[in-house]
Structure 1
Amino acid sequence: MIVALYARYSSDNQRVESIVAQLRACREYCQKYGYTIIKEYADEAMTGTNDNRPQFQQMMRDAEAGMFEMIVAHKVDRIGRDEFDYYYNRHRLEACGVGLAFAAQGFDVSTPEGALMNNTLVGLAAYYSRNLAKEVQKGQRENALQGKTNGGKPLFGYKYAPDKTYLVDEHEAEGVRMIFDMYLQGAGYLEIASALNERGFRTRRGNKFGKNSLHELLRNRRYIGTVVWGHNTKMPNGKRNNHRPPHKDTLVIPDGCPAIIDKETFALVQEKMEQRRKHRGMCTARHTYLLTPLVFCAHCGAAMGGVAHRNQYGVLYRYYRCQRKTRMGTDICPNHSMRADVLEDLIIGQIRKLFLNPDAVEKLMASVDEQYRILKENDCKSLEGLKTKKAAVMKKINSYLEYIEEYGMPDRIAHQRYQGWISELEKLEAEISRREASVPAPLSRAVIRQYIDKYSNALASGSAGNIKNVIAAFVSKIKISRDEISVSFKFRVFGSCTDDGAVDGT
């Protein structure tokens, strides 16, 4: 059976060594049952209270693409500490024929007893997380009532006092007033953003303002002195929503901080925003874009997202357009939009030609063998470097211990340096252990043929979801410029694809 491993640790008193220990236990479990490990996924310092974890989401996409038959984790709570997310993702796995197993909890979830144990452990994991969150929220609520921050960067226009209360930043407050005044005078988001940038104002991240930066600022009641706390607490489905209507956990505190905008101006802006919302364009239907999030602008590096447009005859066209150009204005990026149907047909055609035909098996096998060889060579070089660093640290530690034996305990500063070496040694040993066991087993020709048949059938099904999974399995990145399309495949033996469908390389 082909399996994948998953490990995770949160930021509460855990370190990278936890990942190493989890993966070691999972590997021993797979060795015991004769499973073949094809890939390992690990999320470091990521909470289990939701499934918004990069490696976890990649694993789910790979599972739906048919890359493995089972996922092995150390314990149930590594998959998640929220019942909704856990059972939702488990249902997704079951729907594509992928099982779940836990190396440190030897029960079979397919039996009534195993299912009961599984449900109990999921409930306990969720209780631990929610009880901890409840205690944290008590302190945050009290801070809000006292007009103090709960952390993070202050809203544009404000700064923090030493006692953690809010103060008006007079320079940025001028920018806030300019935003509200220009909006009332009929200026659009891009015009306002351009004016702010020309005056030298920047977002909290140090970036130039774009149209996406302004909408939430215009909606924020803190500018009239009203503090709203708890409006984005988790909903019953475990998700958060900043646009959620007031609910039982919402705490509204009038005059909770200094105001920058008067209430009359704020009310007029909200009324104007509502009017604009009702008069937006009618082309609001959602359309499927098979290549997101793989398409990028070759000129500025931004992602290219899907947009739809109807011509004067009502015919709908779909495009991929530079998102930075959309946010910041047409003068920011010179790239053109790309017809979605043309680009999608081109990429699917290249996948069929290069990978999904009987003649591709030998080429794919040679590519996999070559990448496996390169991977092992790179790992050996990396391990050699890590071991050299470890030897250097060990030499320092031994010299320190020899000094103690001869002269006695040194001063406090020397002892702190020794503790730093010990910490560095632990990290190096953990990384060496992870690298030594992280190389996946090579695939056989029979397995590759099985994948080719599976992906060919998925393309033939016509399902948008199936086609997206196939594209994601073979394509890593697509870059579009004004005169060229470059495609990076996940197999190095093949080259790039130009806009006429030709493929460069061997």
Structure 2
Amino acid sequence: MKKVTKIKAKQAPAAEKTKFRVAAYCRVSTDSDAQLESLEAQKQHYESYIACRDDWTFAGLYYDEGITGTKKDKRPELMRMIRDCETGKIDYVITKSISRFSRNTTDCLEMVRKLLDLNIPIYFEKENLNTGSMESELFLAILSSMAEGESVSISENSKWSIQKRFKNGTFKISYPPYGYDWDGDQMVVIPEQAENVRWIFDQVLAGRGTQDIAKDLNAKGICTKKGNRWTANTIRTLIVNEKYTGDVIFQKTYTDSQFNRHVNNGEKDQYALADHHEAIVSREVFAAAREVLRQHSKEKGIVKGSDKYLNRYCFSGKIICGECGDVFKRRTHYCSEYKYIVWACSTHLDDKSKCSMKFIRDDALKAAFVTMINKLIFARKLILKPYVQALRKGNNDDSLHRIQELQTLLMENSQQKERLTGFMAQGYIDQILYNEEMNTLLAQADRYNTEIEMLSKSVKGDACQIQAATTLLRFTEKSSMLDSFDDELFEETVSCVRVLSREKIAFELKCGLTLTERM
């Protein structure tokens, strides 16, 4: 009989346990001493909280001071944390509460989804909510909408108080313009700055351009109110500011329900107060300077309130720096025999130490766009057609069905409230029970409305992408290869251009695709 010998398996060495790289985010909404103490306490808490876990390693603390939570783009540290997550530096994020993370429902859900796509959960301590183990976003949507509602309530109370002070003329201007300061009771003139203001008005009346005036001020080492360099735009803003005549107009801007600030073009009441403070220039000089600016704009074909102020070219406002996130500005470079157009990062132009991204040529950018479109035309069956099919296949039939269900539930909820009110009126139930049941129904209706709004936004966004992708596919099917740049085609297809380096850019298309090209 044959003898079989068992060979024991070798014991594999124990693998070293992988530690999670955990980062924390905290924010305070004002820069008062009390709030900054709170921020310091949060920082100490998270440093010790992360350090005490054997399976965690500290990946950094991100914090914003004195910044609102209603807009994610206004918080640089939050954006830096998101970028670090995208580059694989973070595995897990913890924060105190949803309201500290974001008071805007749309922003909150967008960031949570983005991090979940990267397999990075967020843990909200106060709500004991881990997005990595959530079966539905509804709970998060409700809680974040409550945080947004709290912010709206605070904002509305503040607006009411401010408008009352507008009406009776007692509103105190918290940040006076260049040339003025606040002594605690009123605006007072700063003599040295006032001389510069009068000089600026004189130069405008002499026919000089705002760009030349800004260059002279910068050459003299004169800074703006915030200590920055002067630009043509800051000069124009100064010239049209009625406060230099001693008058003041309240509520020239307003904030909408989505926390976006707008110029008040008659949508809200305005309040004018004459002789509010000491004037720096006469009303006659002020009116004449404004007329000069108006005439210059007319000669250039620029209409106030139109996009032409900022978007005179198809690339204006659409080229984003991949290093600092600022927009690129158009510039003209001169050589001995010819000139050429370039686009340069605004931050780099102001301070090269803050951003090292150098300019890109206009003709190279246009050539890259032509190359990108020609690739789509050539490979439309391999790229665009499957992409459109995938978008349509993943269309929101389930979402639309759910919206219909929720609308039915809302109708039933309304009927229940009517019956409850009837029972109360007939004396079948007492006031206490009525209040309890009505509050339950009202909370239920709020949840239904929140989910409907969230689903509707999702459906609308996907529908726009499908339409844009379908339009682009039809264009590539009918069009021959491009041999020159097309402004209209660029406007129709590209959301923005992200400059990754002087040799590489990324076109972010309206259909949802991002395509990289070399320059």
The TM-score with structure 2 as length reference comes to 0.51
CA distance in 2, matches of 1:309, 1:107: 53
Distance 1:327 1:191, change over 3 A: farther
Q: Is the 2:321–2:328 Cα contact (8 Å) retained in structure 1?
A: no
Aligned pair partner of 1:252 in 271, 296, 299: 271
**Which residue of the partner structure matches residue 214 of structure 1?**
235
**Residue 40 (str. 1) matches residue 61 (str. 2):** yes
Q: Deviations over 1:282-335 (max 9, x none)?
A: 6452464655439xxxxxxxx9965455999999754547868x679xxxxxxx
The code of the aligned residue for 2:237 comes to E
Structure 1 unpaired stretches of 5+: 295-302, 329-336, 345-462, 472-506
Hey, what does 1:89 align to over in structure 2? 111
Matches within 5 A, 1:53-72: 53-72=75-94
Question: Aligned partner of 1:268: which letter?
Answer: E
Matched residue of 1:237: which SS? Answer: coil
Q: Which one has a bigger Cα radius of gyration?
A: 2
SS of match in other structure, 1:272: helix
What's the CA shift for 1:55? 1.5
Does 1:231 find its partner at 2:262? no
Structure 1 Cα separation of the partners of residues 48 and 24 of structure 2:
10
**Segment of structure 1 superposing worse, 51-60 or 79-88:** 79-88
Q: Summarize the Cα distance change of 1:60–1:226 in structure 2 as closer, same or farther, 3 Å threshold.
A: farther
Q: Which moved more, 1:124-133 or 1:90-99?
A: 90-99
User: How far apart are residue 57 of structure 1 and its match?
Assistant: 1.4
Indicate whether 1:4 and 2:26 are aligned.
no
Deviation at 1:198, TM superposition (A): 8.3
Q: 1:285 aligns with which of 308, 315, 323?
A: 315
Distance in 2 of aligned mates of 1:311 and 1:190: 18
Contact 1:41–1:56 (CA under 8 A) maintained in structure 2? yes
Q: Secondary structure at the match of 1:48?
A: coil
Q: CA deviation at 1:214?
A: 0.9
In structure 1, the partner of 2:382 is none
- Contact 2:345-2:359 within 8 A present in 1 as well: no
Q: Which residue of 1 aligns with 2:360?
A: 340
Alignment match, 1:455:
none
1:272 maps to 295
SS of the equivalent of 1:228 reads strand
In 1, are the aligned partners of 2:71 and 2:107 still within 8 Å (CA)?
yes
User: Which residue, out of 133, 153, 157, partners 2:155?
Assistant: 133
Match of 1:192 in 2: 213
When residues 464 and 266 of structure 1 are mapped into structure 2, their CA distance, relative to the original with a 3 A threshold, is closer
**Counterparts in 2 of 1:60-459, with a 5 A limit?**
60-109=82-131, 115-148=137-170, 150-160=172-182, 163-164=185-186, 166-167=187-188, 172-193=193-214, 203-205=224-226, 209-241=230-262, 244-255=263-274, 257-258=276-277, 259=279, 260=281, 261-262=283-284, 264-275=287-298, 278=301, 283-286=313-316, 288=319, 291-293=322-324, 307=330, 309=332, 318=342, 320=344, 340=360
Kept after mapping to 1: 8 A contact 2:320/2:499: no
With over 3 angstroms needed to count, the CA separation of the structure-2 counterparts of 1:267 and 1:218, relative to structure 1, is closer
Q: How many angstroms apart in 2 are the aligned matches of 1:61 and 1:84?
A: 19
Q: Secondary structure at the match of 2:82?
A: helix
**Alignment partners' CA distance in 2, 1:104 and 1:160:** 41
Instruction: Tell me, in whole angstroms, the C-alpha distance in 2 between the residues paired with 1:8 and 1:465.
Output: 28
Say how many residue pairs are matched.
333
Q: How far apart are residue 187 of structure 1 and its match?
A: 0.3
8 Å contact 2:121–2:130 — kept in the other structure? no
Task: Give the alignment's Cα RMSD to 1 decimal.
Answer: 4.9
Q: Is the 8 A contact 2:217 2:230 kept in 1?
A: yes
**Matched residues in 2 for 1:94 and 1:315: separation?**
48
Is the alpha carbon distance of 1:55 and 1:291 closer, same or farther for their aligned partners in structure 2, counting shifts above 3 Å? Answer: closer
1:134 to partner: Cα distance:
3.1
1:438-491 per-residue CA deviation (whole Å, 9 max, x = no partner) reads xxxxxxxxxxxxxxxxxxxxxxxxx975957xx9xxxxxxxxxxxxxxxxxxxx
Bigger CA drift: 7-16 or 314-323?
314-323
Contact 2:22 2:56 in 1 (8 A): yes
1:24-73 CA-partner distances (Å, limit 9, x unpaired): 68638x949x5555333233444323322232110112223333344222
Higher relative contact order (CA 8 A, sep 6+): 1
Cα pair distance change 1:91/1:101, threshold 3 Å: same
Supply the distance in 2 between the matched residues of 1:97 and 1:75 (Cα, whole angstroms).
20
Structure 2 match to 1:385: none
- Letter of the 1:285 partner, please give it: F
Counterpart CA distance in 2 for 1:37 and 1:174 is: 54
Identity of matched residues, %: 20
CA contact (8 A) 1:140 1:150 kept: no
State the Cα deviation string for residues 171-210 of structure 1 (Å, max 9, x = none).
6444434323322332012432455578996532456644
Q: Deviations along 1:396-445, whole A, 9 cap, x unmatched? A: xxxxxxxxxxxxxxxxxxxxxxxxxxxxxxxxxxxxxxxxxxxxxxxxxx
Deviation for aligned residue 1:23: 1.4
Kept in 1, the 8 Å contact 2:182–2:188? The answer is yes
CA contact (8 A) 1:83 1:123 kept: yes
| Structure 2 runs not aligned, ≥5 long | 1-19, 303-308, 352-356, 365-495, 505-519
C-alpha change, 1:202 and 1:236, in structure 2 (3 Å) is: same
CA separation in 2, counterparts of 1:184 and 1:42? 47
Supply the AA of the counterpart residue of 2:294. E
